[in-house]
Amino acid sequence: MAETVVCFCMPEPGHFRLLRTVVERLVAAGMRAIVFTHADFRAGVTAAGARFVDLFGNRPVERADATSRPIPCRYVSHAGTHGEELIEEVRGLAPDLIVYETFSVVGPVVARALDLPCVNVCVGHDLQPERLVSALERDPRVSVSDACHRAVERLRTRFGMQDASPFSYATSLSPFLNLYTEPPQFLAAGRRAPFEPLAFFGSISDHQHRLASERAPRAREDGALRVYASFGTIVWRYFADEAEGVLRALAGASSAMAPVRLTVGLGGARLTPATAAVLGDAGVRVEGSVDQWNALRDADVFVTHHGINSTHEAIYQRVPMLSYPFFWDQPALAGICQEMGLALPLSLSDAARGAVGPGDVKAAWERLLEARSAMRARLSEARSWELDVIGARDEVVERIRALV
């Protein structure tokens, strides 16, 4: 009989993409997968060959906690509020294994209660738990609700998670196995201890890998520099004003430099009318939702916040990057990409999220064009790391199955 794996994912599109790549491999290896996640991901779960269960339909996050900031604190509240109910529901499925992305605190709650092995899918670059918690405890923007504090107490007393905190979404690593969603070159040997037991899985899906071998870049006739800019989805929750400022600067630079074709992907966000007008007047192509894999296939330059999916998609497709990180793991990933020669900073300002004007953008593009040949050589080397980690996935899957 096939082993049954129950998976958990919070309502974060980037996290689901990382988890889905793992689920697809487990299904291909003959395991029966059941994924508890948001209804928005139903089609993706089904396409991965797994069974979908709505984690939030009768258990909305807002009912457990509607006010904590940052928002992932609410996922801790959700786990503490609905843990007992989910334990019993999963018990009825008779699973052999739990797989969860790090923000899904309910994953280890269920695994502990049912005495099951569990596998964590890391959802960011070098997210050292102690450093993250220390930074969050000092951050004046953090606001933890009473509901979250009560949920943390339940996690400690009812579910035996003595180290539970409002920031457990950043610390819920597995004592059995943690899948790192980058090639090993992106995590120095001296920084791996918190993630052990550790296996490297990468973030590029097998579907993307197949598409890359089947499609050639579109023919170019106008000789224009094609620039694609996107700051993902999460940035817009907290830094919408700063993100719009950068887009206005990009629009100003693109209209002043010929020939430049700028495409902006908004990750589902909406621009203010003023910014939309500036981009429209500059002839910028603005897309609310973009097939980023194809957008990068045709791009010469990628202006990015350095989310983990975006960064490694660009590396795989050998697109030079201009870095404008905002928060969380983004500055560190931007830094390592710059050190490796894969990216250049959009602004030379030392200030975090420093103001950027059209002149800064123009200067950054000129630096990139001058360095582009060397960057492409480094990107080709880094792409080989992506291929290596994809090629080693069968071994990682066997390691996962050995836990059962």
Q: CA-CA distance, 263 to 337, in Å (whole number)?
A: 22
Number of other CB atoms surrounding residue 335 within 10 Å: 16
List, in order of start, the domains of the chain with CATH numbers: 4-203 (3.40.50.2000), 210-388 (3.40.50.2000)
DSSP result, 342-373? SEEES---SSTT----HHHHHHHHHHHHHHHH
> Residue 352 contacts by C-beta under 8 Å, 6 or more apart in sequence?
331
pLDDT band for 220, please (50, 70, 90 cuts): low
More confident residue, 258 or 192: 192
Query: Over the chain, what is the mean pLDDT?
Result: 93
Percent of the chain with pLDDT over 90: 80
> Residue 298 contacts by C-beta under 8 Å, 6 or more apart in sequence?
217, 218, 226, 228
> Is the per-residue pLDDT at 222 higher than 80?
no
pLDDT of residue 221: 54
pLDDT of residue 165: 96
> Is the per-residue pLDDT at 223 higher than 80?
no
Three-state secondary-structure class, residue 92: coil
Q: What is the pLDDT of residues 297-314, one digit of tens each?
A: 989 999 999 999 999 999
pLDDT of residue 217: 55
Q: CA-CA distance, 26 to 99, in Å (whole number)?
A: 10
Predicted TM-score (pTM) of the model is 0.93
Query: Taking the mean position of all CA atoms in its chain, how far away is CA 225?
Result: 27
> Is the per-residue pLDDT at 267 higher than 80?
yes
Q: What is the pLDDT of residues 351-370, one digit of tens each?
A: 455 678 888 998 998 899 89
Sheet containing strand 260-265, strands side by side: 285-287, 260-265, 225-230, 301-304, 321-323, 343-345
As to burial, measured by CB atoms within 10 angstroms (0-12 exposed, 13-18 middle, 19+ buried), residue 29 is middle
Q: CA-CA distance, 18 to 37, in Å (whole number)?
A: 13
